[in-house]
Chains A and B, each alone.
Chain A
């Protein structure tokens, strides 16, 4: 037996770490989804797919991406405890800190998203601003006319989207004190989940029927790959140390298992995968239900990983009671 009695009872630390509430999972989800949006719209531009339809969703989703990222950063800001000093993030670059990398990546992400959005100025904006956007429209048409410029914007978006998605995972996996996060493929899980949520969102708003089917098929591929990455994630944890094994058990059969199996795996992956497979095979019409479930699953994944990760601890390996 091992019995530990401590006189410490620091807020947010004891009895288990709970420093991050709803803000960080929301930020990680929105950041991951924007990363997916950048990769998908960047790929459409790079491959020339955007020329196939005047209604290509690759021109619409970046605008939504800017709004989602701003919301995510607002959530991140709300989480900070020393808000008046937030500007300090941009007075230095700490090479070992994933959060510092992320802060600077976010600075680059906004103009990259804006560049894609500016490639096609929405008709409603042209009417609303009555010719005041004439220069921007002219500039956007020139860029769109240049295959090299469009491809470059596509490549830059894919690269920055990849970095943003990777950062959302590395942010947690760099914190080795929490065994659940201490996985070298957490970034891959978050990137695939972000791609899946972004594909689901683009699928939901796509107007072109061919594009809708293409995005649904892509999303199905991402969802299947996500299940594969989950399997690798758990194998990695189970073969590391007792602390990591117990961390994996938190999700597989412990306190966080109901949320994980029901919201992340069941409602977030399996059910929408079945619905979308039926839709792409023409057995049922495309429905917004599946994309909404996929995005809900992506959000639930971040909540479960952030919450269970904070609960997982090296001391648990020495016999502290676990809630299962």
Chain B
């Protein structure tokens, strides 16, 4: 069983938004909506400030509240890699999943169904990288199988410090940010 994850090196990300444009192009994301986005996080007390630029998206959680709250089973965990997906034709547009996601990673597609990042599962099934990873000009994004101890993502997580987003919500997210 594979367990896909994404590792993003915040020391290399420059916030160029190539990943955002690639995602919109690859997945036909409608104008005015985003499946992934850039966050610039500045914290600390002057002059000791820390800045981090992150490419954010659905965290494809191990404990996905969006899947649990779905009344029709439209939101589900895909057999391949534990990726969280939405069956468009099963979704009634109740928006419970939007309210359940602590990352606000979902939105309502203009056609009425809940939409979000799919880790470009249609590309991954063909052995390709997700489009955001494939286009990154600084090579700061890595995608792979955490269940394979020799995969690039597993090796990075054993050798580098990282953090997760909102781990206190108990969702067990699968986007790791190297610091």
Question: Which residues from chain A sit less than 8 Å from chain B, CB to CB?
Answer: 1-14, 17, 19-20, 79-83, 85-86, 88-89, 91-92, 94, 96-100, 102-103, 171, 174-178, 241, 310, 313-315, 319
Contact = CB atoms under 8 A, between A and B. Distances in A.
Contact of A12 (B89, B91, B107): B107
B37 interface: yes
Contact of B95 (A2, A81, A88, A241): A81
Nearest to A172: B99
A11 B34 CA distance: 10
A8 B34 contact: yes
Nearest to B89: A85
B42 interface: yes
Main secondary structure of the interface of A (DSSP, over half): loop
Interface string B24-68: 000000001110011111111110000000001000000001001
Q: Sorted from nearest, which 9 A-B pairs have the closest CB atoms?
A: A81-B93, A82-B93, A8-B37, A82-B112, A177-B102, A99-B71, A100-B71, A19-B95, A10-B107
Interface of B: 17, 20, 32-34, 37-46, 56, 65, 68-74, 89-96, 98-102, 104, 106-108, 111-113, 166, 168-170
A287 B100 CA distance: 43
16 contacts: A1-B45, A7-B37, A8-B37, A8-B104, A10-B107, A11-B108, A82-B91, A82-B111, A85-B93, A92-B73, A100-B71, A175-B69, A175-B100, A176-B65, A177-B99, A177-B102
Contacts of B56: 6, 8
B40 A5 contact: yes
B32 A11 contact: yes
B95 to A, nearest CB: 4
Nearest to B99: A175
A214 to B, nearest CB: 39
A78 to B, nearest CB: 11
Nearest to B36: A8
Contacts of A13: 98, 104, 106-107
A89 B72 contact: yes
A319 B98 CA distance: 22
A103 B71 contact: yes
